[in-house]
Amino acid sequence: MVAPHEFSKIDDLAIRTLKLLAVDQPCNSNSGHPGAPLALAPAAHALLKATNINPKNPDWINRDRFVLSNGHACALLYALLHLVGNDYFRIEDLKQFRKLNSRTPGHPEFHLSGVEVTTGPLGQGIANAVGMAIAQKNFAATYNKPGFTISDNHTFVFAGDGCLQEGISSEASSLAGHLQLGNLIMVYDNNSITIDGSTNLSFTEDTKKRYKAYGWEVIDLDGDSESPELLLGAIEQAKKTTDKPTMIRLTTIIGHGSLNQGTHGVHGAPLKADDLAQLKEKLGFDPKQSFVVPQEVYDFYRKTVAEPGIEANEKWDKLFAEYQKKYPEEGKALVRRLSGELPADWDKTLPAFTPKDKAVATRKLSEGVIEQVYNALPELIGGSADLTPSNLTRWVEAEDFQPPSSGLGSYKGRYIRYGVREHGMAAILNGISAWGANYKPYGGTFLNFVSYASGAVRLSALSGHPVIYVATHDSIGVGEDGPTHQPIETLAHFRALPNMHVWRPADGNEVSGAYKNAIESKHTPAILALSRQNLPQLEGSCRVKTQKGAYVLQDVEKPDVVLIATGSEVSLIVESAKVLAAKGIKARIVSAPCLDLFDEQSEEYRVSVLPDGVPIMSVEVASTVGWERYAHQSFGINRFGVSAPCPDAYKYFDFVPEGVASRAEKTVAFYKGKTLYTPVRRAFESPSIEF
């Protein structure tokens, strides 16, 4: 039984203020969602009483995290952050709700001070919160010492019907239950309404039984949505449950107080003027005024949220100062991590290769890199969506991240068994990264199934979480598994995604270079597309030049043609060049492990690699879309693959030295006598993202 809490008149005034501050935003801007904020204001107020945040230092590492998975309710979050004294959100900013370049965009964005993750695509926030809870558990297990509780805080998430309907909530919640993440508390806004109308149209499952089956504690607050007392009691009960995540099911009335309360009409349209006026009157406010905050409400939140938060932060600072004296080694590691720096020389163990070294699959080379660096990088936290033996993502001595009682590992472990849950994994990577302490999560799956996760992969890029997707089996080279497993459009798709580095290294030095770049990246995620088949160590390959995204691997004087390729096709064009040379055609060989990075280089550099006056032909066993930006002619595959052993698949599509050479000959003949300009020189650049 949940014990009710005593709330006073000032709590009531604060809730009413919060409600109106949340509906004034969409009304003032004539755009946005008033329904969920109105109904969830009492819950948000109760949550504030139970959380530990320092509004003056929103990045404090031991704060509680709050994720608004139903991101359309962001007016509530902005109002809340304003009221507790986060100076980033001023009344002027609330008045700019959803306006160009405002601090109050249409959905919460990670870069906004005090906003923990970008939400809006429903369901993502739940999985992000699972990632945060994982990070907290690992951080606490690694750094807490007797008498020194450096980390003990919770991750809270608000989620609506839509979030629970999305499959990603099942993936992530199932894993959270398995991992016994007792530091995770979800408030489910069960208002039985989505955009189409009542949930009886499409959502009739028993969510209590569902979450119980995942291994969660479920607290049902069926009944009075306006009772923050009950919710606070439930949160306190949830905190006491340390071996299970908790779902608190709250039955609310969407748009409570509006003339349209309880209907989908109040989900995504601002209240009409008369509705807003009656609501303000009902709540004891002047209908003629907007954005009103009584001074006693500011004072109340200062006393009950900001001041205790600042004090807790100061206490923590003192504790941490003592910790550094008593545990200098861990203290130093922590200071470094909190400053966002990697250890000096972390990369000195990255493997290097010469052409004398044997041919190895790039997925295997990737395993070699992880094996070399995991020890120097406690922030590296790996995992795979059930493809560990194929992906080669686990270092030999790795401990699994598992609840200690499972006998399978501990929370200190840095290898996560995601199960077959690519989308959940990707959103969890985002959550781990967003949690802080410079966590550098990577997750493995087949390149083709990164597309399964693309809802979350897109958010890695949009939010600037520098996570790493270890994407093996990157082409028709997977062979027998056939077209269902052979990526075609995937490289083009993710190259088109802003702020994503798509890597396709050709050999050992390029794999080391790709990891160096991806691990040092502060705001750009990476997909490392890796081969299943063995690839030779190339003459001219270079970890340093890899940082340019594309470089001249092998050159000739006055080339007749430039061949540019990525990954497994680089060794192929090297062989093709020999066939061409025998026919008197001289080819420059360009390796392009990361076209996105090549785009970031100066025009002068790009032109030095892909010059004027020579036909350029790209070679990649994938869609040719996008290659127009670099080559005059592309040899690719604009259809689905085939089920056959790898060499047969390559032969079938004519990706053999002679096949490439004959197309290069045609290209040379086609452009003979024509004036040719490099495609990399441009009249202007389109806008691109900046961090």
Ligand X SMILES: *[C@@H]1O[C@H](CO)[C@@H](O)[C@H](O)[C@H]1NC(C)=O
Ligand Y SMILES: Cc1ncc(C[n+]2csc(CCOP(=O)(O)OP(=O)(O)O)c2C)c(N)n1
195 binds ligand Y (CB under 6 A): yes
108 binds ligand Y (CB under 6 A): no
Using CA atoms, how far apart are residues 171 and 123, in angstroms rounded to an integer? 10
Q: CB–CB of 357/365 below 8 Å?
A: no
- Nearest-approach distance from CB 116 to ligand X, in angstroms: 15
Using CA atoms, how far apart are residues 96 and 87, in angstroms rounded to an integer? 15
Using CA atoms, how far apart are residues 369 and 505, in angstroms rounded to an integer? 13
- Nearest-approach distance from CB 126 to Mg ion, in angstroms: 14
Nearer of residues 52 and 278 to ligand X, judged by Cβ: 52
Residue 56 phi/psi, 5-degree rounding, is -85, -10
> Would you tell me how many other CB atoms lie within 10 Å of the CB of residue 201?
9
Nearer of residues 472 and 517 to ligand X, judged by Cβ: 472
Tokens of 142: 């690694």
Nearer of residues 178 and 239 to ligand X, judged by Cβ: 239
- Grouping H, G, I as helix, E, B as strand and the rest as coil, residue 68 is strand
Using CA atoms, how far apart are residues 498 and 92, in angstroms rounded to an integer? 31
> Would you tell me how many other CB atoms lie within 10 Å of the CB of residue 41?
29
- Nearest-approach distance from CB 358 to ligand X, in angstroms: 18
- Strand spans (E) along 378-525: 380-384, 415-417, 440-446, 468-472, 501-503
Task: Pick one of ligand X, Mg ion, ligand Y, none as the site partner of residue 57 (Cβ within 5 to 8 A by kind).
Answer: none
33 is in an annotated binding site: yes
**Which among 109, 422, 569, 620 is annotated as catalytic?**
422
Query: What's at 206, amino acid-wise?
Result: D
Interacting residue ranges for ligand X, rule: CB under 6 A:
52, 62, 64, 149, 152-154, 190, 192, 198-200, 203, 207, 222, 251, 312, 316, 388-389, 392, 394, 396
Task: Pick one of ligand X, ligand Y, Mg ion, none as the site partner of residue 267 (Cβ within 5 to 8 A by kind).
Answer: ligand Y
Contacting residue, 53, 193, 456, 492, with ligand Y by CB under 6 A: 193
70 binds ligand Y (CB under 6 A): yes
Nearer of residues 161 and 347 to Mg ion, judged by Cβ: 161
Nearer of residues 161 and 620 to Mg ion, judged by Cβ: 161
Burial of 439 (0-12, 13-18, 19+ CB in 10 A): buried
Q: Torsion angle of alpha carbons 338, 339, 341, 344, nearest 10°? A: -100
- Nearest-approach distance from CB 156 to ligand X, in angstroms: 9
Task: Pick one of ligand X, ligand Y, Mg ion, none as the site partner of residue 389 (Cβ within 5 to 8 A by kind).
Answer: ligand X
For residue 71, which of 98, 50, 96, 90 has the smallest C-alpha distance? 98
The interface region with ligand Y, picked from 129-137, 189-197, 313-321, 499-507 by CB under 6 A, is 189-197
Using CA atoms, how far apart are residues 422 and 402, in angstroms rounded to an integer? 19
- Nearest-approach distance from CB 206 to ligand X, in angstroms: 6
Interacting residue ranges for Mg ion, rule: CB under 5 A:
160-161, 191, 193
588 is in an annotated binding site: no
Nearer of residues 254 and 416 to ligand Y, judged by Cβ: 254
What is each CA distance from 395 to 141, 369, 406, 415, in whole angstroms?
20, 9, 21, 9
Contacting residue, 121, 177, 368, 659, with ligand Y by CB under 6 A: 121
120 binds ligand Y (CB under 6 A): yes
Task: Pick one of ligand X, Mg ion, ligand Y, none as the site partner of residue 122 (Cβ within 5 to 8 A by kind).
Answer: ligand Y
Task: Pick one of Mg ion, ligand X, ligand Y, none as the site partner of residue 409 (Cβ within 5 to 8 A by kind).
Answer: none
436 binds ligand Y (CB under 6 A): no
Nearer of residues 223 and 647 to ligand X, judged by Cβ: 223
CA atoms within a 13 Å half-sphere pointing along the CA-CB vector of 260: 19
For residue 617, which of 675, 674, 559 has the smallest C-alpha distance? 559
- Nearest-approach distance from CB 463 to ligand Y, in angstroms: 16
Contacting residue, 14, 36, 342, 592, with ligand Y by CB under 6 A: 36
For residue 439, which of 463, 417, 468 has the smallest C-alpha distance? 468
Task: Pick one of Mg ion, ligand X, ligand Y, none as the site partner of residue 368 (Cβ within 5 to 8 A by kind).
Answer: none
Nearer of residues 196 and 397 to ligand Y, judged by Cβ: 196
228 is in an annotated binding site: no
Element (DSSP H or E) covering residue 520: helix 508-520
267 binds ligand Y (CB under 6 A): yes
Contacting residue, 16, 19, 45, 72, with ligand Y by CB under 6 A: 72
Using CA atoms, how far apart are residues 532 and 360, in angstroms rounded to an integer? 9
540 is in an annotated binding site: no
Task: Pick one of Mg ion, ligand Y, ligand X, none as the site partner of residue 72 (Cβ within 5 to 8 A by kind).
Answer: ligand Y
- Contacting ligand Y within 151-170 (CB under 6 A): 160-163
Element (DSSP H or E) covering residue 275: helix 273-282
Q: Tell me, yes or no, if 422 is annotated catalytic.
A: yes
Number of residues that bind ligand Y (CB under 6 A): 17
Nearer of residues 59 and 152 to ligand X, judged by Cβ: 152
267 is in an annotated binding site: yes
Q: CB–CB of 567/538 below 8 Å?
A: no
For residue 646, which of 482, 410, 479 has the smallest C-alpha distance? 479
> Would you tell me how many other CB atoms lie within 10 Å of the CB of residue 389?
9
Using CA atoms, how far apart are residues 664 and 15, in angstroms rounded to an integer? 71
Q: CB–CB of 569/535 below 8 Å?
A: no
Element (DSSP H or E) covering residue 158: strand 155-160
Tokens of 159: 């989620």
Euclidean distance between the first and final Cα of the chain, in Å? Answer: 48
Query: Which residues are known to be catalytic?
Result: 422
**Residues in binding site for thiamine diphosphate:** 72, 120-122, 162, 191, 267, 449
**Residues in binding site for substrate:** 33, 267, 363, 390, 473, 481, 485, 532
**Residues in binding site:** 33, 72, 120-122, 161-162, 191, 193, 267, 363, 390, 449, 473, 481, 485, 532
Binding site for ligand Y (CB under 6 A): 35-36, 70, 72, 120-122, 160-163, 191, 193-195, 254, 267
